[in-house]
Amino acid sequence: MPVWKIHGDGHTVAPGSVVKPEERLNWPATFAIGAQHIVAMFGATFLVPIITGFPVSTTLLFSGIGTLLFLLITRNRLPSYLGSSFAFLAPITAINAGQSLETAQQITQALVGVLVVGVALAAIGFIVQAVGIGWIDKLMPPVVAGSIVALIGFNLAPAAWNNFNAQPELASITLIAVILFSVLFRGFLGRISIFLGVIVGYIVAIFTDQVRFEGIEDAAWIGLPDFHLAAITDPMAWAYVPMFLPVILVLIAENVGHVRGVATMTNDPSINKHTGRALLADGVATALAGGFGGSATTTYGENIGVMAATRVYSTAAYWVAGAAAILLAFSPKVGFIFNTIPAGVLGGVTTALYGLIGVIGIKIWVDNRVDFSRPVNQYTVAVSFVLAIGGYAMNWDGFELGAIVLGTVAALLIYHLGNAIARARKTGADDGGPIPAVGPLGGDPE
């Protein structure tokens, strides 16, 4: 059983300090923070199975199990919630001509692709952990790492807008409540501003008749999720697997970005040493979900936003969230209640959360004094951001590369090829390293 040190007096977080992964606040506060993580992941985690046709309760179950496995494999040092991955939407729905899966056979065929991606990601994680992260540092220097972290958050902006636009008044009230709670109150109430904002938005929605409770009485309090086994003996299922392989790059980008983001926010570079374990853990969780009927998992940017807002990075809160998700998976009635949270409330909250993810990427640049007078750095960020925010995608005969993949690839290619050319030509357009604390910025050669 994990053991955490009590942070300070267990009640407050001093200005400028954070609750580290191996620390925790008192248990009531920890449960409250865990509740915020449940709220943060819930909308997206439920949305993926709704879009793909996977069983919702099963997805929630493996999301919770995956989170606990992630904490165990990363030795309780890396706070993260593993929610449903949006990267799998395209290959899964492609099995049914772009529509939600309609039959059990289609679900079991799609699960093979999820299973294969999970195994491949776990293998990559094992290699990374064995040989170290030095090559990742060279592959993803601060300007690239910050871009990847930020574009993951900004890429989610259209999803936030869709929910916000569905009920703009309700979304605005929720967003304003989140911001006001964060600046009006000190200590605990300020740290749970996101959770309180959701409560305010939900109460307003109830009083304005924007919550639909039809069918709640018919939902059972206790029930088993629907399980499906991956159709590993079905040749057609293996024919679909190539469509899933590009997703591996997305999961690598999301996991590396998550690890670097947490390391930056906690001011603990040693967390980067767990990059391989993070990849391994997400791979194992995804493979397990794919084997028995759940959606693939990934480290959730939504929950990074909660940590950034609360300054609480305790893994104890994620044990609470993971265990709660497992319990909720066995209660159709409770799951139904959570699913009644209006789109406007989710839109208001995610507008703040997704933006906070982007800020974390920008903080990586600031902390490492990235020189943005250099053209290579400028274009690395400029192009990758537009690709991610604009939702660019490329398709080749059923293969699709989404915005996060394209943005990540663009950042890597522009940075490394641009540096090679600029240095060969001695144009001064390359990344010259951190800018000096005092003095002129770089750019033109002397």
So what's the pLDDT on residue 437?
63
* The two structure tokens encoding residue 398: 């059923």
Do residues 306 and 55 touch, judged by C-beta distance below 8 A?
no
Say if residue 276 is exposed, middle or buried (CB neighbours under 10 Å; 0-12, 13-18, 19+): buried
If you count them, how many residues does the chain have?
A: 446
- The pLDDT confidence band at residue 234, using thresholds 50, 70 and 90, is confident
Read off the pTM: 0.68
Each residue of 38-86: pLDDT tens digit?
877 776 677 677 767 788 888 889 999 999 999 999 988 888 889 888 7
How confident is the model over 275-300, as a mean pLDDT?
A: 90
- Between 155 and 389, residue with greater pLDDT: 389
So what's the pLDDT on residue 399?
58
The span from the first CA to the last CA of the chain, in angstroms, equals 60
Which ranges of 76-103 does DSSP label H, i.e. alpha helix? 89-94
Each residue of 310-369: pLDDT tens digit?
788 888 889 988 998 898 888 777 667 766 778 888 888 878 877 877 887 888 788 888
Mean residue pLDDT across the chain: 82
| Cα(295)–Cα(279) distance, integer angstroms | 17
Cβ neighbours of residue 329 closer than 8 Å, sequence gap 6 or more: 57, 58, 60, 61, 64, 225, 335
Whether pLDDT at 301 is above 70? no
- From residue 97, alpha-carbon distances to 111, 173, 192, 391, 444 in Å are 17, 39, 42, 21, 52
3-class state of residue 211 by DSSP: coil
Do residues 350 and 166 touch, judged by C-beta distance below 8 A?
no
Whether pLDDT at 275 is above 80? yes
- Between 170 and 24, residue with greater pLDDT: 170
So what's the pLDDT on residue 32?
84
